[in-house]
Amino acid sequence: MVGRMSTLVAALREGLPDGAVLTDPDVMASYAHDMASFCPAGEPAAVVLPRTVEEVRHVLRTAYALRVPVVPQGARTGLSGAANAVDGCVVLSLLRMDRVLEIDAVNRYAVVEPGVVNADLSKAVAAHGLAYPPDPSSWEQCTIGGNIGTGSGGLCCVKYGVTAEYVLGLDVVLADGRLLRTGRRTAKGVAGYDLTRLFVGAEGTLGVVVGAVLALRPAPPPRLALAAEFPGTAAAGEAVATIMAAGHTPSLLELMDATTVRAVNRLTRMGLPESTRALLVCAFDTPDPAADLAAVGALCHAAGATGVVPADDAAESELLLAARRAALPALEAVAGTTMIDDVCVPRVRLAEMLDGVAAIADEYRLTIGVCAHAGDGNTHPVVCFDAADPDERDRARASFDAIMELGLALGGTITGEHGVGVLKRDWLARELGPTSLELQRSIRQVFDPLGILNPGKVL
């Protein structure tokens, strides 16, 4: 085994610059896993940090010839274990491929490398009066390559959609080192099968994304937000349903349960109303956001809101949105460790999902807070537990499975935007069924006949 690893490292270094191949065990350990709990991680044989497409091709050609697994990585902010190393693998970190190569304001697209941070792209295109809408909560750390790999969403997808809707084309290095170019740079195009969409959400199991053509939109006007307090989940769910049924298109429609509100207050001292059982945050970036907020506020009152507080200006609005973005770190602070679920249900089942999670929290004697992209039914139950307590760890894992089962029972899906990775692999089989699973495994075999790309993930 030692001789084989030496051969691998030597072969990698032949086509890579000094400092691109890391083998120090302590350094490699820092690249071994993402942010997910309960996901095993192995020990890599090497970590490689390429800067060019040709360097990535060299890594894949080498790994293919030696039959060595390759685990592609972005910023490792994922929550499903998709970036976790396996024993003896090459961890292929794309963080150094971080250039925005082109911004075309006429055709409204950007060409980027996979290591570009989401927030950095947003700033770059804003200088041209444009916007890249997908905005995961980790947008200041996560990379475009990781967003593409997991098919991520964000707070504004209720109006603007998810990552898949903005990927026009990709450059992908296949398992054997060949370079594939998919998609287009035109506004329209239906030539051939849509291979671009196939790679979005594939979590690095079909190829390594080394470049992307991303659609942009005109920068929207400044948004205004409101917060609505509800005495129960049923009233909050009714408000979400009536807002969407009335034809409103908020740029953001987020929900926090009482557990999450209390956690945010403890962390930020924001003074959110702890008497509420559910706090709905709604924002508009329309030409007349105040009028839209007034209409939504009336619907919230009709659904049973006990208080509706519209922001007076953009600064107050950003404070409300900051409270929502603080939800996950606030819940992490409750017990030290979290397991973040990602179940998406039909909007009309949102209240049932929240009530079901509360019952699961009681059953397993755990703190479980729920924050949600309410506008599209994507809930994030966050299980808080003490990782040093074996019994509590077991209860946390069992509660996670109970939440997954609840989501499927309500007609939902096991993941709306975080991906499958290691964490949800067994649940994916339950959701897809045998026919779909067989076809998807066959597709993976076509792209990666030796099974070296991110083995053990997704399927």
What one-character-per-residue DSSP string does 59-114 give? HHHHHHHHT--EEEESSS--SSSTT---TTPEEEE-TT---EEEEETTTTEEEE-T
Position 297 pLDDT exceeds 60: yes
State residue 341's pLDDT score: 87
Residue 182, both tokens: 């998919």
State residue 19's pLDDT score: 95
CATH of domain 100-218: 3.30.465.10
pLDDT tens readout for residues 91-108: 999 999 999 999 999 999
State residue 429's pLDDT score: 93
pLDDT tens readout for residues 320-374: 889 998 998 999 999 889 999 899 999 999 999 999 999 999 999 999 999 999 9
Q: What is the DSSP secondary-structure string of 274-285?
A: TT-SEEEEEEE-
Question: What whole-number distance in Å separates Cα of residue 343 and Cα of residue 340?
Answer: 10
State residue 308's pLDDT score: 96
Average pLDDT, the chain: 96
Q: What percent of the chain has pLDDT over 90?
A: 91
Quote the distance between the C-alpha of residue 437 and its chain's center: 22
Name the one residue in this structure whose structure tokens are 């429609």: 253
Position 2 pLDDT exceeds 70: no
CATH of domain 224-409: 3.40.462.10
Confidence of residue 191 (pLDDT cuts 50, 70, 90): very high
DSSP assignment letter at 305: -
Q: What is the DSSP secondary-structure string of 242-290?
A: HHHHTT---SEEEEEEHHHHHHHHHHH-----TT-SEEEEEEE-SSSHH
Residue 175, both tokens: 């398992």
pTM for the whole thing?
0.95
State residue 137's pLDDT score: 84
Question: What whole-number distance in Å separates Cα of residue 114 and Cα of residue 116?
Answer: 6
State residue 336's pLDDT score: 84
In this structure, which amino acid lies at residue 135?
A: D
Overall average pLDDT of the 110-135 stretch: 97
Confidence of residue 3 (pLDDT cuts 50, 70, 90): low
Domain-wise residue ranges, the chain: 100-218, 224-409
pLDDT tens readout for residues 411-434: 999 999 999 999 999 999 999 999
Position 1 pLDDT exceeds 70: no
Range 130-133, long-range pairs (CB < 8 A, 24+ positions): 130/103, 130/105, 130/216, 130/217, 130/218, 130/219, 131/216, 131/217, 131/218, 131/219, 131/220, 132/166, 132/214, 132/216, 132/217, 133/157, 133/160, 133/161, 133/166, 133/217
